[in-house]
Amino acid sequence: MSDYTLEVHGCHHYDATGAISEPIYLSATYRHPGYKQSTGFDYGRVANPTRTELETVLACLEQGERAWALSSGMAAINMVFHLLNPGDHVVLSEDLYGGTVRLANDIYKKYGVKCDYVDTADLEKTAAAIKKETKLLFIETPSNPMMRVSDIRALAKLAHENGALLAVDNTFLSPHFQKPLTLGADIVVHSATKYLCGHNDIIAGVIAIADAQSDYGQTLDLYIKSEGPNLTPMDSWLLLRSIKTLGIRVERQEKNAAIVAEWLKTQPNVTDVYYVGLPEHPGHELHKSQATGFGSMISFKVKTPELAVALLGKLKLIAFAESLGGVESLLTYPIAQTHAEMPKELLERTGLDDRLLRLSIGIEDVEDIKADLEQALNA
């Protein structure tokens, strides 16, 4: 099936009632037919029918062998970091979500996991950062918030040549636009709160993997079963419902984003626009070779920090709020919100400063989005 059809119909096998919508199974435990007999569901932390349907759909969309639906995007990233042991080394994109940096620096370093941040859009720099202890490359592409593009195929080859895994945070594009597992990545993570949900009403995370029988696949399964960060049945059902409209949502958002990005370039108070859909973006052609869409995340800089702060308070339609990927347009001030705890060195290296704003484009009429930005920029 095409993604559009899979998103609508999922992998749903109708039960005896013929219910079109997957039922919500709220049971914590399940009856055994007899000794050493099971329906496949024993205890809700290990497996739940609603969550299992969601996980099957997610694995199909990412073209992987296994997926897990978890309580948040950070829970998903945390499980991936669980694969590392004391003394192991991980290479991370230097431009990425601040929460990932916090997890690596404030939590895993005290367990003896060593981290280095590098511009993973530069293959030579990335190769130079790899050590014999390197077990994981963790990247975002496009990156958050500077929209750098990394070569997934080349990084997968580099990781595997050095005995490491490649994990890709695919939150910004969703599996509708990019499927890293088909490009050689081992692990994909999402904050499913974002595009997969698309309605700003649940917190969820996803891990999808290429090889369910691998050591890393079996280890992830053990950790998730043992620690219990699983998504609830109700949130699993809401996410299943949201995925039905994933394609039409993200394509509408992308169409709006392309128009807004070009328009922002013409605004006198805007100095820089970062959007991978712009032909002049340095990663534009590479991105086209590994993704089917450009997404709807735009970062831009205004002339002064004072203007950036003032603009946030002048918005009328667009919400000044953290998060992204919903049907509503949101504007975020990364240096004070999503990347507030980013080390100063990384801020300077990536160019993330107090003039930068990050815009998540929604499905509203694009002229209304532009009108709100214009009045706020010039108020």
Catalytic amino acids? 45, 97, 169, 194
Supply φ then ψ for residue 31, to 5 degrees. Answer: -75, 135
Task: Specify which residues 92 forms β-bridges with.
Answer: 117, 138
Neighbouring C-alpha atoms within 13 Å toward the C-beta of 201:
12
**Residue that is written with structure tokens 């009403």 in the block:** 201
Contact present, 319 and 372 (Cβ < 8 Å): no
Angle at 281 between CA 277 and CA 283, to 5 degrees: 90
Q: What is the DSSP letter of 181?
A: G
Burial of 58 (0-12, 13-18, 19+ CB in 10 A): buried
Residue 66 backbone zone (phi > 0: left; psi -120 to 50: alpha; other: beta): beta
Angle at 181 between CA 176 and CA 186, to 5 degrees: 145
Task: Specify which residues 356 forms β-bridges with.
Answer: 301
The residue type of 104 is A
Contact present, 228 and 199 (Cβ < 8 Å): no
Q: What is the DSSP letter of 45?
A: T
Supply φ then ψ for residue 105, to 5 degrees. Answer: -80, -40
Contact present, 179 and 166 (Cβ < 8 Å): no
Long-range Cβ contacts of 338-344 (<8 Å, 24+ apart): 338/97, 338/98, 338/99, 338/144, 338/145, 339/97, 339/98, 339/145, 340/98, 341/98, 341/101, 341/102, 342/98, 342/101, 343/101, 343/105
Supply φ then ψ for residue 207, to 5 degrees. Answer: -120, 130
Between CA 181 and CA 187 the distance in angstroms is: 7
